[in-house]
Structure 1
């Protein structure tokens, strides 16, 4: 999403030609004259120089805040609580933000105290000052349209912020779902391409029984689809919102008709099937939906990382490792070893997974630390979840486009491994008995000779019987009747 360009807080005094004076409960402060933010945002920027990452780094959250403020303005207009001209200006400002403008004015750090109050204040001030401009007034002329009296009318950070966070998470999750589908399709295409390639399966890194390379890749596609379903279920949970609950869920200072109207407008604006929680007091303090979503993201990360481990292992070599598949070379692998190529794309996805697993711990601890009627730690929950969603999406796209689609199979090498594997005796067990199969396996291991050769030599089976039993279809699909 494109952001409107604008000077950073440090550059604004010089860039905007002077200051305007704004007032809050702590007193007067000079705010750069051209800034869309105000005194509350200024103090928050000073108070929380934590990560250096502003809220604008999560464009979906900024967009979601604008959606909530627009819905609130329309609901208050419908109730006769907000002048129609003000509501129209607020709506226009919100629509600009939803379109990608003014994001650079959301300057507060993603990690902040106050349960998201600084972010809500930042949104109120930016929307108010842009609305003032649209009405033909100057920034900071709050007697004409006020950030709190008008933009925040009938609201509290404690219902605005979690509602916006949930909308942002849902929007971001849909993009991850699309990326997972693309990666699933890439694995499924390889499964079809490799459907006739026989190989040895392994358990505990030891030879097990034969399978096809197609079956191996199909399992990765199936795992992704299972996780897509779990993510969709988690998204359904985060669509329950507490809008209208204000400070602690009792709805103090909100009109009795506000919740239903605001929720209806919010559904229309976002296109999401949002529902209002049955009990707003419970919903205001409950972070369970965030924990659920985080757990699903951890599940996706763990399984995706395991898949990348497999790709790295199967491709290790090219001559002194397994060497069963080839990952597409995308860059030189060493500054000292000429010709070396590394599995850099799976390695990058592994690292994303490690981060997501760590983020899940953060979300868990932040959710547990909530006290009484509010969880004060939703900013770090939001930041952690949005990072996990965004990075997993990037990882899925990169893995599909820069790795999976270009994988090739070393067919001759795989055939030789099957032919010389001791694991073949498992398929012969029902036909020659466990004791004979064990003896054949031991002799093959000691002598280095093949299982087929020894079975024929001892007259345990005929050539035709062996050919039928060891047919790829029979080896890879144990339910097939001989």
Structure 2
């Protein structure tokens, strides 16, 4: 029934607690509206990837229930079509439950059930709200519980985001860092430890270290993310599979694997799956480790590009925007700074995920909505941030070979190479003399009577950097 209030048209929707006024234009129903009113907290909603995952689950469930004879074929086909519209983002604006909502995500699950049920009613020629035609619980949620579907949606959405967004971005960064490592391999520079001058190295070697660090983090994420492929759909409320056909779970999971192109499969133990969001916690920990690696790289690039007159100035970053509202001509390392901020946010997200993960009690973890939001947020900002950092900073960087060579020649730590010839103590005195007199180590060593032949042998900067 549709009625008009002073502000807008509403319809009366019902749930087990009674009647609720819902906007007539809404595809959601009574339980979603209750949650919308109960949790006006942040204005933050679970992202499109999560909503897509909910649609994938509802579609697979309808197919499985139809094929085992539990769900009327006409209703099932309407639910499948409505779920596919959700998958493709057509009804994203109808998912209106705040991230900070009822535990476990019951409201989020019912939001999906109600939207799909009402859309399926329309597809069957009925009106929104006609639960006698398609019921959100009896038909859309058949053989399911919030407790398995929200957990499964976390795994599906995270795995898709990692596979299609994050890993390609990391490979791109890795490739570009390797390209810089090859391009800059001939450039000799001074190494630095404790932010003090150290023995010479090549600029390409420094960047090869960055590239391999990213590769190692990527490989760990690939390895740990396989845990997300174990999904307990069919475990239902506590893992027993109550109200589900014996073939439902296997059929539904197989359909999810087929639709996504990812090898999702049943977990070893449904009770373990429902009780613990361990895979989400584990992959979040790997994202934290990635953030630590990226922070190191971003901070190094800020140091190496510092200047242009009073810093290291060993590399030059692309000028992508003015750096100051008051100092004309100033250009800042804005992409590296952005990368740092993303990484700090990831550390905070991981703290939330790990804390919420530790809140599992008995047969369930009821903190799944906040786990879902933070896990997907960190994957998203890392994927998009790494892509922007690579394309708009790493690709366009240039080396200042002259400045690098100057620092390498002026470094007092070059005296280290003379240890085998004159010993540590004499080499230390030579280093001090070099600094005191503002000379290169070679110049100071020459004055002590060391032959040119020995100087050429022991103070070959390129030879010092290895092979």
Q: Which TM class, normalised by the smaller chain length?
A: over 0.9
Number of the residue aligned with 1:253 = 243
Whole-Å separation in 2 of the counterparts to 1:351 and 1:62: 27
SS in 1 for 2:395: helix
Whole-Å separation in 1 of the counterparts to 2:461 and 2:85: 61
Query: Compared with structure 1, are the counterparts of its residues 388 and 427 closer, same or farther at alpha carbon in structure 2 (3 Å cutoff)?
Result: same
Whole-Å separation in 1 of the counterparts to 2:6 and 2:238: 42
1:140 equivalenced with 2:140 (yes/no):
no
Whole-Å separation in 1 of the counterparts to 2:121 and 2:456: 83
C-alpha offsets along residues 386-443 of structure 1, whole Å, 9 cap, x if unaligned? 1100011111011111111111111111111111110111122223322321221121
1:53 equivalenced with 2:44 (yes/no):
yes
C-alpha offsets along residues 211-266 of structure 1, whole Å, 9 cap, x if unaligned? 01111111111111111111111210111111101101111111222111111111
Of 369, 375, 391, which residue of structure 1 is paired with 2:381?
Answer: 391
Number of the residue aligned with 1:77 = 66
Number of the residue aligned with 1:30 = 21
1:39 equivalenced with 2:30 (yes/no):
yes
Q: Where does the alignment leave 5 or more consecutive residues of structure 1 unmatched?
A: 1-11
1:466 equivalenced with 2:455 (yes/no):
yes
Whole-Å separation in 2 of the counterparts to 1:298 and 1:291: 11
1:195 equivalenced with 2:179 (yes/no):
no
Q: How does 1:391-430 map to 2 (within 5 A)?
A: 391-430=381-420
User: Is contact 1:432–1:460 with CA below 8 Å preserved after alignment?
Assistant: no
Number of the residue aligned with 1:340 = 330
SS in 1 for 2:169: helix
Whole-Å separation in 2 of the counterparts to 1:468 and 1:395: 46
1:101 equivalenced with 2:90 (yes/no):
yes
Tell me by how many angstroms 1:14 deviates. 8.8
User: Is contact 2:442–2:459 with CA below 8 Å preserved after alignment?
Assistant: no
Whole-Å separation in 1 of the counterparts to 2:221 and 2:440: 47
Number of the residue aligned with 2:443 = 453
Number of the residue aligned with 1:125 = 114
1:438 equivalenced with 2:428 (yes/no):
yes
SS in 2 for 1:80: coil
User: Is contact 2:412–2:435 with CA below 8 Å preserved after alignment?
Assistant: yes
Q: Where does the alignment leave 5 or more consecutive residues of structure 2 unmatched?
A: none
Q: How does 1:174-185 map to 2 (within 5 A)?
A: 174=163, 175-185=165-175
Of 18, 21, 34, which residue of structure 1 is paired with 2:9?
Answer: 18
User: Is contact 2:254–2:265 with CA below 8 Å preserved after alignment?
Assistant: no
State how many pairs are aligned. Answer: 463
**TM-score between both structures, scaled by the size of structure 2:** 0.96
Q: How does 1:209-228 map to 2 (within 5 A)?
A: 209-228=199-218
Tell me by how many angstroms 1:459 deviates. 2.2
1:205 equivalenced with 2:195 (yes/no):
yes
CA RMSD of aligned residues (A): 1.5
Of 149, 159, 168, which residue of structure 1 is paired with 2:138?
Answer: 149
Number of the residue aligned with 2:286 = 296
Tell me by how many angstroms 1:472 deviates. 4.2
Number of the residue aligned with 1:9 = none
1:328 equivalenced with 2:318 (yes/no):
yes
User: Is contact 2:231–2:266 with CA below 8 Å preserved after alignment?
Assistant: yes
Tell me by how many angstroms 1:461 deviates. 3.3
Whole-Å separation in 2 of the counterparts to 1:19 and 1:421: 77
250-259 or 208-217, larger mean C-alpha shift: 250-259
259-268 or 292-301, larger mean C-alpha shift: 259-268
Whole-Å separation in 2 of the counterparts to 1:357 and 1:377: 18
Number of the residue aligned with 1:316 = 306
294-303 or 425-434, larger mean C-alpha shift: 425-434
Whole-Å separation in 2 of the counterparts to 1:155 and 1:461: 84
